[in-house]
Structure 1
Amino acid sequence: MSFPKTGSKVQIQSYKHNGSLHRIWEETIVLKGTSNIVIGGNDRILVKEADGRHWRTREPAICYFDAKHWFNTIGMIRSDGIYYYCNLGSPFSYDEEALKYIDYDLDIKVFPDMTYTLLDEDEYALHRKQMNYPKAIDDILQYSVKELISWINQRKGPFDPQFVEMWYERFLQYR
């Protein structure tokens, strides 16, 4: 698998299970790029929705994508602490166009005190039926929710207290 080079700018594209484009984040700076992990940083970037709407992110963020795990994280740096938005989705792939993954609707929002909320279970149930998610995908996603919660509770990977701060310092060097 090819991977983006450190210091390069990449577009991030999420798709739905049926192959339709879901969302595009216009520009993220690659802080670390390997075949297994991509860590990126961005600040107030343009996000385009499949329905044509667009908006800008409100704060700096550090993104973590993994080629082996069925989730990715966005650590958003706000004045009252770091919030995480975690997408349950396929491991990432990368081509010269963008970093890509399939978004499977379920999300976990993590607050600065590391409490969390599972979101969009109703959307997941609806899309699971509409797009006919295979049982194997459902099983992987249910396992991945548990794995992600375990990472949150253990402060593992992107949830390590120093992770976002360290990578944000590196992001500032590229701005």
Structure 2
Amino acid sequence: MRVPKEGEFITIQSYKHDGNLHRIWRDTMVLKTSEHSLIGVNDHTLVIESDGRRWVTREPAIVYFHNKFWFNVIAMIRDNGVSYYCNLASPFLIDKEALKYIDYDLDIKVFPDGEKRLLDVDEYEAHRRKMNYPPEIDFILKENVKILVDWINHGKGPFSPEYIELWYGRYRQLSRK
């Protein structure tokens, strides 16, 4: 697996279980890589949907990917505080083209006041039947929802204020170079 360097820009591609491309983020700045994780930032980043629709992210967002956990985390830095969008997804991999993962529909949104919402349960169930998610995937995803909620409840990793401060500060340093 190719390891991008700090300050380098990469593309992120999400797919669905059936192999179809779901969404592309262009030019995500890498802030840190380790053996198991990648931290980056999107700031006014071009996003291309599978239907060709294009849009640009509105605010800086710290992105967290791990190659052991079945989720990724997007911490959106807004005027009213940090909101989190957590995708239940396969662990990531990186090749010459992009950072890639499979999006499994379920999402958890965390609002600045700490409120949590599990989203897209109906979409998950419809895709689980349509794309024949194996029972093992269903089990893994439900277990990772529990892990993710535990991280949120205990301010672990990307859910700690120190994490956001550290990585947003590093992004500001790198973007001034």
TM-score (norm 1): 0.98
Which residue does the alignment assign to 2:116? Answer: 116
CA contact 1:39–1:64 (8 Å) conserved in 2: yes
Which residue does the alignment assign to 2:9? Answer: 9
For 2:167, the aligned partner's letter is W
1:33-48 pair list within 5 angstroms: 33-48=33-48
For 1:59, the aligned partner's letter is E
For 2:74, the aligned partner's letter is I
Give structure 1 regions of 4+ aligned residues with deviation exceeding 6 angstroms: none
Q: Which runs of 5+ in 2 are unaligned?
A: none
For 1:14, the aligned partner's letter is S
Identity of aligned residues (%): 61
CA contact 1:4–1:34 (8 Å) conserved in 2: no
Which residue does the alignment assign to 1:156? Answer: 156
TM-score (norm 2): 0.97
Q: Which runs of 5+ in 1 are unaligned?
A: none
Cα deviation for residue 165 of structure 1 reads: 1.5
For 1:105, the aligned partner's letter is D
Cα deviation for residue 151 of structure 1 reads: 0.4
Q: Aligned pair count?
A: 175
Stretch deviating more after TM superposition (84-93 or 33-42): 33-42
For 1:42, the aligned partner's letter is N
Cα deviation for residue 2 of structure 1 reads: 2.8
- Cα deviation 1:85-116 (Å, max 9, x = unaligned): 00000000001111010000000000112221
RMSD between aligned residues: 0.8
Question: How many Å separate the matches in 1 of 2:90 and 2:50?
Answer: 19
Question: How many Å separate the matches in 2 of 1:51 and 1:174?
Answer: 33
Question: How many Å separate the matches in 2 of 1:40 and 1:123?
Answer: 28
Question: How many Å separate the matches in 2 of 1:49 and 1:110?
Answer: 23
1:25-36 pair list within 5 angstroms: 25-36=25-36
Which residue does the alignment assign to 1:68? Answer: 68
Question: How many Å separate the matches in 2 of 1:23 and 1:35?
Answer: 25
1:59 aligns with 2:59: yes
1:138 aligns with 2:134: no
